[in-house]
A and B are shown apart, each in its own frame.
Chain A
């Protein structure tokens, strides 16, 4: 597993709600860092990158208000490797899709409102960054 797969791995491995929320938090932070690192070379993808980055920050902020989120955060994920803008967009879009799917697990819990909001942010990341035929 390379560093770029870690957000997905964390999300997949989360067995309970607190660990899922912690993984989601890290995943949003990761997407944010990944997009920011790629913005300067994004070219015509700049609008999609900056808007998706804002959605990632919003998603993180939503998760942070979830009651079940562990108070202490673990060590941050290693910084994204970077790459061509389209690769970054593909990767961030995939994480967004996974985040949206996994956050559905919080339905019916005390965390459902922040999780729903975060899932909306994840959906937006995917909508902004996925190739047109993949949305």
Chain B
């Protein structure tokens, strides 16, 4: 969806090599050479498969998920046997590249694809980071990292590895014993079916787990959809670009924005380039993006009537309404920034630039004007619904674009909240004294922002976050209904246990309690949000002052749920949960539906 290479593309390349060839290569080389080359290629194939089963990324997962854990252990033993058997007596020439199209050539190509696919998954992790409680945990560096190591994807990966092992064995077993083979060649040839027996044992172990707990196709699709971690270059829309190109551009811009925000999110320290100017730009861009999405949903509605999905027009209406509500909430954030400022670093903010690009891309998609910009004077004629959703491809492309855009906007609410909290803690927030009551009598233009103003700003971000979440959930539903490619975002959220239900608005404990009590009074909810923010600031301040004893003693006091460390509003967001006695691995922001 983002245009980056995916795991599935590489995996399928391997699978294609392991299918029986329709047109075998003519010109058989010497039998001895063929046996040697096939054994060497099979060894590389087995080594590639063992790479997955031995990889520390999935080792921890294997220990704790029932039949699949046992299956993984058995598969690991089997592949090591196979590796040992086929590796015996291989000479240095085993590394020479076999001829394309031969059995050895196909096994070799499959092994290379499998290795490349594993490398692709590893792009989501940085160098291992040792912690006091964990020897060497790979450090996640993208939202996909948690998906890669999730239970559903680990199971899907094991099932996929088993299928490759089965196919590799089936192909290798087709190699006949050459006529007039010498003793050494015969011995080498015998190792091939022997190793294949262990590959079949690997497959059987996984099949046994499949019988107890089947891997759904959706998990395999999610595995195949995992893209390489590569930040796409910044792109701006060309004039008169077609809707399909604009939808793709929206996805890329939103993806870039999410990556920038991810880099910001876990940091509790104030980032100088996320100053008032940048946060204003970001909030404003979110207003415009929501506005544009509202236009897109409204334009799509008539086209949806003939789409064959009875409930789609209603869902699009709902999406337009939620986008309008989110726009209002973001406008409140932008207005709150009118009375607040920070120091100005002069550094450009990549995150603000990316979300502004997203506003431009969504505008180009929403409006008929081929050169639309937010400036006055551009034509405000809407793009016809037939262009946005006249065909199934157009509809799913547009829905996916809106889905990615909604995800980015939602991310900015959390990141903005975290940055305001950090700026407040570091005492970098100021207010023009004009906006203070006269009783303050400060003979300067600026003063430190009082707590109630900071709370109000944080409350605005909370509101924008909740409203943006509703847009995201609604569009996720539309993506699932229409089969838009962006439904992989929902699958990823489910795989990591971060489905909308778990990250529903009001996930703060206090807000949850109020909601369980049936409280809907906005004033009470606002106060609860303010109290949560104040608690966060207090804890962060204590941490900043080096209150080490608090951190140690708080193991019993702080919630053990891992999400607490990922909640950007949490004072421990981005902190290593191991230090605080809960969770596993470094924190990262949620990957939503």
Chain A nearest CB: distance from B406 CB in Å?
18
Residues of A bordering B, CB below 8 Å: 25, 29, 32, 36, 39, 43-48, 50-51, 53-54, 57-58, 60-62, 64-65, 69, 71-73, 76, 89, 93, 117, 127-133, 135
Bound: A61/B280 CA distance, A: 12
Q: A51-B284, A51-B288, A61-B344 are in contact. List 18 more A-B contacts (CB 8 A).
A: A29-B434, A32-B338, A39-B331, A45-B376, A50-B284, A57-B338, A57-B341, A58-B277, A61-B276, A61-B341, A65-B344, A73-B433, A89-B376, A128-B374, A130-B376, A131-B376, A132-B375, A132-B377
Q: Which residues of A contact B344 (CB under 8 A)?
A: 61-62, 65, 117
Would you call A73 and B434 a contact (CB within 8 A)?
Answer: yes
Chain A nearest CB: distance from B78 CB in Å?
61
Q: Which residues of B contact A131 (CB under 8 A)?
A: 376-377
Would you call A47 and B377 a contact (CB within 8 A)?
Answer: no
Which of B280, B283, B377, B433 has a CB less than 8 Å from the CB of A58? Answer: B280
Bound: A61/B93 CA distance, A: 70
Supposing A48-B374, A48-B376, A51-B284 touch, asked if A71 and B277 sit within 8 A by C-beta, the answer is no
Which of A25, A50, A71, A132 has a CB less than 8 Å from the CB of B376? Answer: A132
5 residue pairs of the A-B complex, CB under 8 angstroms, read A46-B287, A47-B359, A53-B338, A61-B276, A117-B344
Supposing A64-B341, A69-B445 touch, asked if A129 and B376 sit within 8 A by C-beta, the answer is yes
Supposing A36-B338, A48-B376 touch, asked if A71 and B443 sit within 8 A by C-beta, the answer is yes
> Chain A residue with minimal CB distance to B285?
A51
Q: Which residues of A contact B281 (CB under 8 A)?
A: 54
> Chain B residue with minimal CB distance to A130?
B376
Chain A nearest CB: distance from B448 CB in Å?
14
Would you call A127 and B291 a contact (CB within 8 A)?
Answer: no
Q: Which residues of A contact B363 (CB under 8 A)?
A: 47
Would you call A57 and B376 a contact (CB within 8 A)?
Answer: no
Q: Which residues of A contact B337 (CB under 8 A)?
A: 54, 57
Q: Which residues of A contact B331 (CB under 8 A)?
A: 39, 50
Would you call A36 and B335 a contact (CB within 8 A)?
Answer: yes
Chain B nearest CB: distance from A88 CB in Å?
11
Which 5 A-B residue pairs are closest in the complex by CB-CB distance?
A132-B377, A44-B380, A47-B374, A54-B280, A48-B376
Q: Which residues of B contact A32 (CB under 8 A)?
A: 338
Would you call B284 and A54 a contact (CB within 8 A)?
Answer: yes
8 A Cβ contacts from B331-345 to A: 331, 334-335, 337-338, 341, 344
Would you call B380 and A48 a contact (CB within 8 A)?
Answer: no
Bound: A111/B375 CA distance, A: 30
> Chain B residue with minimal CB distance to A60?
B432
Q: Which residues of B contact A62 (CB under 8 A)?
A: 344
Which of A45, A47, A54, A73 has a CB less than 8 Å from the CB of B445? Answer: A73
Q: Is B444 an interface residue (CB 8 A)?
A: yes
Bound: A39/B287 CA distance, A: 11
Bound: A93/B335 CA distance, A: 20
Q: Which residues of B contact A46 (CB under 8 A)?
A: 287-288, 291
Chain A nearest CB: distance from B227 CB in Å?
31
> Chain B residue with minimal CB distance to A93?
B376
Chain B nearest CB: distance from A73 CB in Å?
6
Q: Is B94 an interface residue (CB 8 A)?
A: no
Cβ contacts B371-403/A at 8 Å (1 or 0 each): 000111110100000000000000000000000
Chain A nearest CB: distance from B430 CB in Å?
9
Would you call A50 and B338 a contact (CB within 8 A)?
Answer: no
Supposing A44-B380, A47-B359, A57-B280 touch, asked if A71 and B338 sit within 8 A by C-beta, the answer is no
Q: Which residues of B contact A44 (CB under 8 A)?
A: 380
Would you call B374 and A51 a contact (CB within 8 A)?
Answer: yes
Supposing A32-B338, A73-B434, A129-B376 touch, asked if A47 and B446 sit within 8 A by C-beta, the answer is no
Chain A nearest CB: distance from B461 CB in Å?
16
Which of B283, B375, B432 has a CB less than 8 Å from the CB of A128? Answer: B375
